[in-house]
Structure 1
Amino acid sequence: MTSDEPRPSERSLVAGTVVLLSAFLLFVLELVTARALLPRFGGSPMVWTTSMLVYQVLLLVGYAYAHGLARQRSGRLQAVVHVVLLAVGVGIAYARLRTGALGGGDPAAMSRHPALDLVWTMLVTIAIPFIVVAATSPLVQHWQACRYPNRSAYWLYAVSNIGSFGGLLVYLVVIEPLLTVERQFMLWRLTFMVVAVALAALAIRARRFVSLAPAMPAQADVTEGLRPVRYQVLLWIIVPAGTSAMLLAATNELCLDLAVFPFLWVLPLSLYLLSFSLAFRSRAQPNGLPVGAIVTLVALVTTALSIALPAPLHMASISALLFGLCLAAHRELYRLRPAASRLTAYYLSIAAGSGVGGAVVAWLAPTCFVGYWEFQIAILVVWLGLVAATALDPQGCMRRGDTRQAGVLLGVVSYLLLTHLPERWIEVCLKVWPWGGSVAFRMSAAVVLSLLLWWGGLRRRRAAQWSIWPRVLAGVVIFYVECSMVERVRGDRSQSGRVTRNFFGVVRVQEVRHSATGIQLRQLTHGRINHGWQYVNPNLKGEPTSYHSPSTGIGRLLRLLQSQRERIRIGVTGLGAGALAAYPRAADQIVFYEIDPQVVALSVGPGAVFSFLSDCPGRTDIVLGDARQSLQAEQYRQGSRRYDVLVLDAFSSDAIPMHLLTREAISLYLAHLVQPGGVLAVNISNRFLDIEPVLADMAARFDLHALLIDSMGDSPVRARSLWVLLTRDPVILAAPELAEVGRPLGEKKITWTDSYGSPFQLLKWWNPQSRGLRMIPPRRAPKAATAPALLPEQTSVRRAE
């Protein structure tokens, strides 16, 4: 080493800094791009899932590029190729990474093929910069291994994951709250240019060491990579495929019930990356099998109760399972690492497995599954990979007969059998008395296993006899996970009715009957939340129910305006079961804006199961596409629609599409109302989010009068609803029908714009109000709707023009 050449520690510091910043940029780019795309694609949870699939594919391409480049013997060639690609990436970043390139588009075209349109948009904007940044970590590790052949370069992988984790944390805490989306892109471009210059300098200086290293030294292969390659490569793909699928499925589970916003993307992804960082530390760590068993137990129990948990516990239960299992699986993946000569192939296999897992959740699951089953399937795959990796490990608890490890597993399975094994499986498999037999079996199994544990503790000198127990107990846990998965699948399939799934979620229609009253209803469920009911009884089916019944905020408003005006025009964002179509008279018109074609098919066409629209005496229209995008297109081409009432009720499951409640969106809605007598009605009923402060800010900003009406409804099917009415005409809200049951909005205000805002500020941290279905005997049969002189016009379905 010459006098002017940096010492190894200095060069390691430079390499570590470049890898850290590259990983930081990689994940910030993921978040800001998906955040910019959310309004364009309707705020669907699948926006992030599909985006993650694109990221994983691009990561695979980046690793493949790094692997191919590392195989070139010429260091000069490696440096020239990478410097040229860096220059191209910087140029594309400055030309394409802007909100204008990501946020436009025809809403009609997007509603036909939203997933493909999302993929194409991302490929033409971020592909090259993303690939360049993704290739940094394996390339720098390869150059370090060539420069210092006697030192392990795997520590840089942990550094990379720390940088990724830091990027997620900084984006959540600093970047998103303080900067608009356009400024976020600007900051990313500037930082990328600095990193590109440093990386180019590193590549140029490393070219001589790469050329001097014709092959990896033999001693590098001796210290790492002790298992047969045929087992390694298979597990390099299976384990990350399972954890990647679990990551995306867990994110879907959270977004379906809360909202689609970066915090719920960052939380699971941060835990996923943190598990990589902890697992890839060089210091000795315990086997992952017992850790996986414990977190599987805890999380399966709590996720089964997630519908009744407050938001923090709901997030914690899913996060615990994701982090614990990923930590266990990634630790075994680290134990399966190869010699330094196969380093890039190792990372390429991990990226390929992650891509496979992402493809299953993003594309295969919405196409092949009629329910959200991928979470349970991913847990099972991770467990199978975890057990296989542990079985191949010479130091694992499965092969060395570790009494302590076996004891941990034994206690876990005892608890499972005692309290949480599905009773239906016990009844079917054992053919015993349904209740007493299952309880007796659980207690007996727990007692026997506890005695075995005590006996094994007395015989520590013969611990090798326990080598069979970890295998048996791991099999029992896998069986339990499989039972849980099959129970969920069978439960979805056994429900009578119609179930469909697409890019926007799962829609289920089924008939339910109340045992006490005998009332039969047709129920619409989107995600996990009921979004409408209709009576099957012909004498009742024309009556609006649940959140739209006459005594709710929207019901009172529509009846009031109908008593004052000869005809009214109603716009509704979100179709649901179409219950609001029960209100229009023959002279009235109602227009629904619905993004999900499968929801439209339930009310219009030969397969319709809800008759609110077909029975409506007034004119009904459906605009297919995102509500905001469609209203913008109509304003541009036709001007204001001049609605008397514009209803915001377009929420899938309990998730809130943020782009429908921003300052820019409210301004658009007001432009489509008659002035000053138009009313904006917002359904803010939600288990996890308190949306009132956002609307309070909008009322103050746009000089609107506001009233909140909290009602249980008055139909035989009751559901608590919270409606906020906003208008520039105070006389409307002063009417006794509204003023006597409403109250002003609170003093707390939170600002949301297209570029700023997070539902994290709105979380109800404890004791969320239940939105459960309540049935009571009807007081009287409602009067049948007066038939119009002529048949109502057929409902028209069109796209925004």
Structure 2
Amino acid sequence: MLYLFVIFVGAFLLFQLQPLIAKLILPLFGGGAAIWTACLLFFQGFLLLGYLYSHYLTKLNKLKTQVIVHVTLLMMSLLFLPLALNFNFKQYLSTIMGDSPLFEIVFILILSIGLPYFLLSSTGPLVQRWLTYKDSAKLPYKLYSLSNTASLLALLSYPFIFEPQFTLSNQILIWSIGYTIFVLGFVSLALVMFKQTHLATNMLAANIKTDVKKCSKTVIALWLMLSATGVVLLVSTTNAMTQNIPPMPFLWILPLCIYLLTFIISFHSPRWYVRWYWFVLFVISSFTAIFMFFIGSQFDIISQVVIYCVILFSACMLCHGELARLKPSIEHLTLFYLNMSLGGFLGSAFVAFVAQNLFTQFLEFPLAILAVYLLFYFCSQVNNHLEEHTSAQDVNRHKVLFRDQLLARVSLVSALLLFVFFSYLNNLFAESNIDSSRNFYGILSVKDVKINNILERRLIDGSTSHGTQYLVTNLNNKEVSYDVTPRSYYRKNTGVAIALEQIRATLPLKVGIIGLGAGTLAAYGQSGDEYRFYELNPDVLLMANKHFSYLSKSKAKVEIILGDGRVSLANEENNNFDVLVVDAFSGDSIPTHLLTVEALVIYFQQLKFDGVLAIHISNSHLDLTRLTIGLADAFNKQALYFKTTRDKNNNEAEWVLLTNNASFINNAIVRRYASNWPHSTKKPLVWTDDYSNLLSVLK
């Protein structure tokens, strides 16, 4: 039972730490979806190190030495408890790494949780290998299925039990207690093994066995590629899913749960992986995946999540099902796990480094889909070759081989058709592109589109518009001029326009704006005004200056501060803003750390006593009205709600203004355009840095 306990608890803690630590580090780097990609790189890297360590530790000929080394490291890891991120590391590493949040995140995680995570990562293969010394005839792969089941339970329990019920500080305390129990359990197991001298004899016999057949290089390469492709699918599907849906633990966890579920199914029993069934499902979902790549944002949140999950499930079932078919004998168990973890790390590194610097779209998503087809073909060839030699006279086996060869040919044809289909749609999609870029913070593009015979330039983050400007051509259609009239969410009579125009009791105005976009709000600036924008993504500043004219033609003095708006404001002296606008978006949602009590404390410190805080809450998937009402109540402020309906050329816009300025509140124009709050029977919400739950505000 100790074997089962240690494997189960270790896997549970390993995977519950992932969303916990990612949520903890999220506010430090602007709250974007790419934080999860960076964290996954760390997780995959340390999983590889853990598997590498267990592989070479079990090569030692003395079992007692293995036990002593591992128990010593476990006791040392207790010094890291309770877990904490040392924020001083971030400032120190920023001076070393420069503008590289990816490396900063990885190094902060290494220095903060590296040893406990490393030891948890090594638990599965190490304990499974030790179990083979006790019973060399017993295959331990079902224990791998058990560990993945524990991991799945850990992930599912986080968004539905731990996140809603406990603050972050309490979650860390609970995890630390769980880790201490795990260490005690492992030490008990180690003491039992230490005393059983016959296990050492079995271990020595296993390690000096000379008639073990070596694994072919082709099979090892397939282990690597199948594992890498599975992780690329996981990360790219998560990225695609969170382009327009806010990055939150539930949407990080759900794809990871599906990824683990395919491991559980594939490794629990070979009967559960029926190749033709999963292949047919994958063919259907692969073409759906290409449609989602281009028009996924047109679906509601539930439809997007369901479709992406089906795509990921069918693709990973093929990858992990083929992995299970290629699994070796127990003598190569740790080598198998080592190559699987190496493949996972390479897949994660490919997305984090290669794709981010090479592609200006999420091309790793369709590329991974194509890779599944090709790997399925090669796996079919390898398996058919092996089975032909083992059961050449079996008539039923010939039928199976014929069917598998047919599936392999269909796989190549499907891959070719998918490539042609994607290329055609991508050419159509790129026709309106003016410019595009990709960095750690996401994908930006500038498009020129005609709406009702009006040429409109749009700044697109993922697939969400973050600013528009009309382009006016002269009679010969050769010269283009910019119309500086504010459009879209910032047009006349929207909440932010009312705030900027009606707060102007005396000149000049001093305005702070978190989030630059196309710089549209600069159009409201008058001579003598000061407009200070805070923008996290340097590529947004580049696009706003290069392709839009709001900043260059503003009458106000415009200043741009690069960096997270909340962090920048916290480090500044009191600016005495007349208006402070919170308009920073990650995809289609404001990052959660900008809507907490601690954030609003900073905002109101930077505002004049009678100033106005304007919060942009337009969103396709979240209802933030309850949250803004709760925050207004917490600060004893009046909250005014402005909803400007969609018209033929503009999006629906929702703004909330928080202030105690009586003259502004009673202003006739303000009262005229203010809307009634949406009816809700639910109580207002208040978020803090220690507690937030995005599931509670889903529409």
> What is the TM-score normalised by the length of structure 1?
0.80
Cα distance, 1:721–1:467 mapped onto 2, change above 3 Å: closer
Partners of 1:299 and 1:318 within 8 A in 2: no
Partners of 1:246 and 1:375 within 8 A in 2: yes
Partners of 1:521 and 1:534 within 8 A in 2: yes
Spell out the pairing of 1:751-770 with structure 2 (5 A cutoff).
Answer: 751-764=686-699
Q: Specify the code of the residue in structure 1 equivalent to 2:84.
A: R
Residue 221 of structure 1 and its aligned partner are, at CA, apart by 9.1
Residue 299 of structure 1 and its aligned partner are, at CA, apart by 5.7
Structure 2: how far apart are the matches of 1:326 and 1:761? 30
What secondary structure is seen at the aligned counterpart in 2 of 1:614? coil
Partners of 2:93 and 2:104 within 8 A in 1: no
Partners of 1:107 and 1:626 within 8 A in 2: no
Counterpart in the other structure of 2:556 = 618
Computing the radius of gyration over CA atoms, which structure comes out larger, 1 or 2? 1
Residue 615 of structure 1 and its aligned partner are, at CA, apart by 1.1
Cα distance, 1:462–1:320 mapped onto 2, change above 3 Å: closer
Q: Deviations over 1:714-753 (max 9, x none)?
A: 8x84221111111122431332222222234345322221
Q: Specify the code of the residue in structure 1 equivalent to 2:638.
A: H
Cα distance, 1:485–1:220 mapped onto 2, change above 3 Å: farther
Counterpart in the other structure of 1:482 = 419
Partners of 1:706 and 1:744 within 8 A in 2: no
Structure 1: how far apart are the matches of 2:173 and 2:219? 42
Residue 337 of structure 1 and its aligned partner are, at CA, apart by 0.7
Structure 2: how far apart are the matches of 1:710 and 1:231? 61
Q: 1:203 aligns with which of 159, 165, 190?
A: 190
Residue 470 of structure 1 and its aligned partner are, at CA, apart by 2.1
Spell out the pairing of 1:237-248 with structure 2 (5 A cutoff).
Answer: 237-248=224-235
Matched, 1:532 2:467: yes
Counterpart in the other structure of 1:212 = 201
Q: Deviations over 1:73-110 (max 9, x none)?
A: 1001101110111112111334xx21454896489768
Residue 400 of structure 1 and its aligned partner are, at CA, apart by 13
Matched, 1:546 2:483: no
Structure 2: how far apart are the matches of 1:341 and 1:526? 50
Partners of 2:94 and 2:104 within 8 A in 1: no
Spell out the pairing of 1:29-108 with structure 2 (5 A cutoff).
Answer: 29-94=17-82, 97-101=83-87, 105=91
Partners of 1:390 and 1:398 within 8 A in 2: no
Spell out the pairing of 1:100-119 with structure 2 (5 A cutoff).
Answer: 100-101=86-87, 105=91, 112-119=99-106
Q: 2:140 aligns with which of 145, 153, 167?
A: 153
Counterpart in the other structure of 1:370 = 360
Cα distance, 1:471–1:296 mapped onto 2, change above 3 Å: closer
Structure 1: how far apart are the matches of 2:262 and 2:659? 50
Counterpart in the other structure of 2:567 = 629
Partners of 1:542 and 1:582 within 8 A in 2: yes
Q: Specify the code of the residue in structure 1 equivalent to 2:654.
A: L
What secondary structure is seen at the aligned counterpart in 1 of 2:551? helix
Counterpart in the other structure of 2:585 = 651
Structure 2: how far apart are the matches of 1:292 and 1:219? 39
Structure 2: how far apart are the matches of 1:398 and 1:550? 74
Q: 1:735 aligns with which of 654, 667, 678?
A: 667
Structure 2: how far apart are the matches of 1:633 and 1:615? 29
Cα distance, 1:342–1:704 mapped onto 2, change above 3 Å: same
Identity percentage of aligned residues? 30
RMSD, aligned CA: 2.8
Partners of 1:733 and 1:739 within 8 A in 2: yes
Q: 2:448 aligns with which of 490, 500, 511?
A: 511
Cα distance, 1:399–1:366 mapped onto 2, change above 3 Å: farther
Counterpart in the other structure of 1:272 = 259
Partners of 2:384 and 2:401 within 8 A in 1: no
Counterpart in the other structure of 2:525 = 584
Q: Deviations over 1:293-336 (max 9, x none)?
A: 31441364262542221111100000111112212321221111
What secondary structure is seen at the aligned counterpart in 1 of 2:581? strand
Matched, 1:593 2:534: yes
What secondary structure is seen at the aligned counterpart in 2 of 1:615? coil
Q: Specify the code of the residue in structure 2 equivalent to 1:757.
A: S
Q: Specify the code of the residue in structure 2 equivalent to 1:88.
A: M
What secondary structure is seen at the aligned counterpart in 1 of 2:205? coil
Matched, 1:331 2:321: yes
Q: 2:629 aligns with which of 673, 693, 696?
A: 696
Structure 2: how far apart are the matches of 1:263 and 1:237? 28
Q: Deviations over 1:163-192 (max 9, x none)?
A: 111111122222111222222222222211
What secondary structure is seen at the aligned counterpart in 2 of 1:316? helix
Structure 1: how far apart are the matches of 2:42 and 2:398? 53
What secondary structure is seen at the aligned counterpart in 1 of 2:302? helix
Partners of 1:527 and 1:652 within 8 A in 2: no
What secondary structure is seen at the aligned counterpart in 2 of 1:611? coil
User: Which segment is superposed worse, 587-596 or 84-93?
Assistant: 84-93
Cα distance, 1:492–1:76 mapped onto 2, change above 3 Å: farther
Matched, 1:126 2:64: no
Matched, 1:557 2:499: yes
What secondary structure is seen at the aligned counterpart in 2 of 1:718? coil
Matched, 1:603 2:541: no
Counterpart in the other structure of 1:263 = 250
Matched, 1:672 2:662: no
Residue 231 of structure 1 and its aligned partner are, at CA, apart by 2.7
Residue 160 of structure 1 and its aligned partner are, at CA, apart by 0.8
Cα distance, 1:464–1:130 mapped onto 2, change above 3 Å: closer
Partners of 1:39 and 1:103 within 8 A in 2: no
Partners of 2:89 and 2:108 within 8 A in 1: no
> What is the TM-score normalised by the length of structure 2?
0.91
User: Which segment is superposed worse, 256-265 or 212-221?
Assistant: 212-221
